[in-house]
């Protein structure tokens, strides 16, 4: 540690760290638009400039390292004036349509203008006339609102590992674009939403379907069923000022009923069906020693990646729909017949943590009688907007139960929210399947926590089962390289594109927060601890689905209902 002087006080900082991180660690707030903790610094926005004695010019705190002799001023008149001018420059060509912007009230540029007391337009720039890109099912790009901070470029390249965006042209013409400036839907984007959650403005937003959902809710002939994934019930709290991680399932049920949804289901029951299908697939592959390692396919962004970049892995993927697509199929078939109504009278909506689920819903496999099994998809943050739009006071609601027949009476389907949870839930069931007895300690702690790669080996009568769970595409790809080169061997690999899994998905509340992700994860583990039924194969509601409709996991009947197929896609790289 060394000492430096900041605003006339001595503080201890770590030798070699950036000024920005030293200030942050000492509770001194300096604004920034381009910097994010996991990304390399660029100094692009110059919002974090500070005065360092001995330097003629202001220096960007994100890209200068601390030195022992430094005397820094973070909020001098000169610094504040420079920051204000930088914001005014950004606003000079901005569309100024804050009232109509999806990020109104949650925009970092807006907040900075307010904090820096920007009250007049002092610089007149030429307004951008870029067109809105609505080609992608999950994400809308509004380049006119882009402030060229480069976060999306770096997140997509450095964290996701896809590099769908880059800077293009120079000077006043500088802009963010996909390869050959093609619309997002034709680029290499896998719709993970990490850029959306990182963008400080409304330049990257959810592709909303509010209008369509409203039309369905208003139509007396249409029955609207809605399902929500377990990630949603532990993260929607943050949108309404509750403590991060607070589980608000009952309150959410109550809000959805008030909005007018006719049936409210938890996706976790479909999660248990998914786990049973996956366990049956793993048991079969182990028996036949084929297509090992089995690689999970629940993450829609991961499937998009494999289809575009690693088609040779398609045969290793589990050919089973995701839990919400299983639930969607069951709503359009089993539930419709229980209601004795026609399929076209039921519209099904999904609330999820994931932007890629919007595109997944349109996959050709996921239709029944020419209509999508999941008609509309809302992210967690969109759901919060819909609740506010309907004038519902979330804080005042009394909890209510969800509807049958998709009761989630096992915690296995809920564990799928976390990275490692899918492997844990699957092992509980495959162990029972292969050994005809229950796994003694169902809590597989080696698969828990926030490391990128986790692994566990469990004994089985027919040899060991070696499993890895990996989150973050970059980590997944390096692990797979080691598997391909023979350095590592696994029977099953769980892959989640988003770090820490779905709980930290691209459709979750903005801004992203690591403490919030940890709190959400803790609560999912808490649910598992408190639930007496911990295995998918013990969920009576899921077993009833097999009894009435699908015979047994892995049967021809269940495959016909829940099958997923994969196709090599050509994309611009
Ligand atoms: S789209 Fe958003 S994240 Fe990307 S450069 Fe523009 S403002 Fe920054
Ligand atoms: S959605 Fe994901 S893959 Fe697509 S541009 Fe954004 S970060 Fe990259």
Q: Which domains does the chain have, with CATH numbers?
A: 2-75 (3.10.20.740), 90-206 (3.30.70.20), 212-562 (3.40.50.1780)
> Helix or strand or coil: residue 415?
helix
Q: Are 443 and 427 in contact (CB under 8 A)?
A: no
The C-alpha atoms of residue 112 and residue 485 are separated, in whole angstroms, by: 49
CA distances from 335 to 263, 320, 539 (A): 10, 20, 18
The C-alpha atoms of residue 506 and residue 195 are separated, in whole angstroms, by: 8
Q: Which ligand is nearest to the CA of 301?
A: 2
The C-alpha atoms of residue 41 and residue 52 are separated, in whole angstroms, by: 19
Q: Is the CB of 189 under 6 A from ligand 2?
A: yes
The C-alpha atoms of residue 501 and residue 483 are separated, in whole angstroms, by: 21
Strands 371-372, 367-368: parallel, antiparallel or unpaired by DSSP? antiparallel
Give me the pLDDT at residue 463, please. Answer: 84
What DSSP state is assigned to residue 255?
Answer: H
- Cα 165 to averaged position of ligand 2 atoms, centre (Å): 8
Residues with CB under 6 A from ligand 1: 146-152, 176, 198-201, 203-204
Global pTM reads 0.94
Q: Is the CB of 190 under 6 A from ligand 2?
A: yes
CB atoms within 10 A of CB 119: 8
In the structure encoding, which two tokens stand for residue 224, read together? 């609207």
The residue written with tokens 């674009």 in the block is 177
Q: How open is the CA angle 286-289-295, to the nearest 5 degrees?
A: 65
In the structure encoding, which two tokens stand for residue 444, read together? 């597989």
Q: Is the CB of 165 under 6 A from ligand 2?
A: yes
- Cα 357 to averaged position of ligand 2 atoms, centre (Å): 13
If one residue of 162, 305, 510 were mutated to test the ligand 2 pocket, choosing by the most ligand atoms within 8 A of its CB, it would be 162
Give me the pLDDT at residue 443, please. Answer: 84
Spans of the chain, pLDDT less than 50: none
Q: Which atom of ligand 1 is nearest to the CA of 155?
A: 3
Give me the pLDDT at residue 361, please. Answer: 98
Q: Are 150 and 168 in contact (CB under 8 A)?
A: no
Give me the pLDDT at residue 568, please. Answer: 96
């Amino acid at each position: 540690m060394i000492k430096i002087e900041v605003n006339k006080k001595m503080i201890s900082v770590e030798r070699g760290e950036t000024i920005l991180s030293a200030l942050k660690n000492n509770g001194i707030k300096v604004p920034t638009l381009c910097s994010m903790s996991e990304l390399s610094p660029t100094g692009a926005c110059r919002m974090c400039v500070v005065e360092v004695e001995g330097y003629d010019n202001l220096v960007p705190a994100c890209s200068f390292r601390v030195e022992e002799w430094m005397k820094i001023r973070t909020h001098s008149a000169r610094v504040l004036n420079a920051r204000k001018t930088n914001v005014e420059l950004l606003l000079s060509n901005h569309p100024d349509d804050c009232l109509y912007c999806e990020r109104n009230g949650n925009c970092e540029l807006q907040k900075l203008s307010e904090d820096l007391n920007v009250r007049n337009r002092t610089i007149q720039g030429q307004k951008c006339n870029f067109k809105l890109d609505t080609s992608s099912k999950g994400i809308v790009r509004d380049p006119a609102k882009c402030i060229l901070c480069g976060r999306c470029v770096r997140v997509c390249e450095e964290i996701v590992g896809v590099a769908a965006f880059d800077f293009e042209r120079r000077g006043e013409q500088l802009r963010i674009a996909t390869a050959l400036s093609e619309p997002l839907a034709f680029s290499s984007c896998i719709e993970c939403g990490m850029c959306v959650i990182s963008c400080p403005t409304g330049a990257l937003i959810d592709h909303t379907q509010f209008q369509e959902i409203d039309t369905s809710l208003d139509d007396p002939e249409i029955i609207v069923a809605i399902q929500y994934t377990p990630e949603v019930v532990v993260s929607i709290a943050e949108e309404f000022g509750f403590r991060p991680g607070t589980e608000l399932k009952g309150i959410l049920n109550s809000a959805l009923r008030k909005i007018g949804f006719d049936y409210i289901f938890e996706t976790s029951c479909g999660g248990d069906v998914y786990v049973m299908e996956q366990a049956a697939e793993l048991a079969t592959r182990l028996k036949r020693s084929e297509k090992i390692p089995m690689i999970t396919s629940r993450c829609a962004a991961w499937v998009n990646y494999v289809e575009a970049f690693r088609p040779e892995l398609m045969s290793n993927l589990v050919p089973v729909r995701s839990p919400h697509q299983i639930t969607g199929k069951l709503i359009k078939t089993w539930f419709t017949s229980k209601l004795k109504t026609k399929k076209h009278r039921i519209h099904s909506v999904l609330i999820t943590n994931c932007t890629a689920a919007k595109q997944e819903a349109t996959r050709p496999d996921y239709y029944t009688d020419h209509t999508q099994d999941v008609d509309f998809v809302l992210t967690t943050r969109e759901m919060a907007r819909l609740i506010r739009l309907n004038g519902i006071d979330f804080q005042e609601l009394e909890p209510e139960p969800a509807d049958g027949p998709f009761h989630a009476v096992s915690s296995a389907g809920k564990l799928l929210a976390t990275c490692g949870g899918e492997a844990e839930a699957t092992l509980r069931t495959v162990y029972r399947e292969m050994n005809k007895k229950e796994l003694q300690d169902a809590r597989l702690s080696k698969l828990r926590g926030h490391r990128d790669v986790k692994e566990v080996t469990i004994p089985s009568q027919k040899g060991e089962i070696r499993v890895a769970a990996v989150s973050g595409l970059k980590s997944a790809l390096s692990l797979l390289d080691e598997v391909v080169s023979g350095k590592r061997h696994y029977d099953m690999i769980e892959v989640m594109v988003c770090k820490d899994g779905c709980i930290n998905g691209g459709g979750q509340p903005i801004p992203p927060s690591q403490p919030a992700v940890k709190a959400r994860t803790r609560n999912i583990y808490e649910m598992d601890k408190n639930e007496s039924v911990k295995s998918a194969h013990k969920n009576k509601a899921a077993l009833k689905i097999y009894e009435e409709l699908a015979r047994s996991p892995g049967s021809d009947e269940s495959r016909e209902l829940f099958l997923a197929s994969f196709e090599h896609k050509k994309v611009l790289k």
